[in-house]
Amino acid sequence: MTNSKEELIQKIESAREVLNKSLDEKKQYDEVYQNSILLDTLIEQYIEAGY
């Protein structure tokens, strides 16, 4: 599945907000970790796409 640059940016921003919220609300480690993995994966896709 490929995402356009704009779609990836939107997904990255959304994932970052979710991660920040989970950190601010002191959520369980597993939840924070999964949010972090999702954000890392999206950033990796962005870099690999060469944007």
C-alpha distances (whole Å) from 24 to each of 11, 29, 46 are 20, 12, 26
For 9-51, the DSSP string reads: HHHHHHHHHHHHHHHHTT--HHHHHHHHHHHHHHHHHHHHHT-
DSSP state of 3: -
Distance CA 32, CA 45 (A): 20
Given this model, what pLDDT does residue 24 score?
Answer: 98
What are 16-35's pLDDT values in tens digits? Answer: 999 999 999 999 999 999 99
Given this model, what pLDDT does residue 1 score?
Answer: 54
The better pLDDT of the pair 51, 23 is held by 23
Given this model, what pLDDT does residue 3 score?
Answer: 75
State the pTM of this model. 0.88
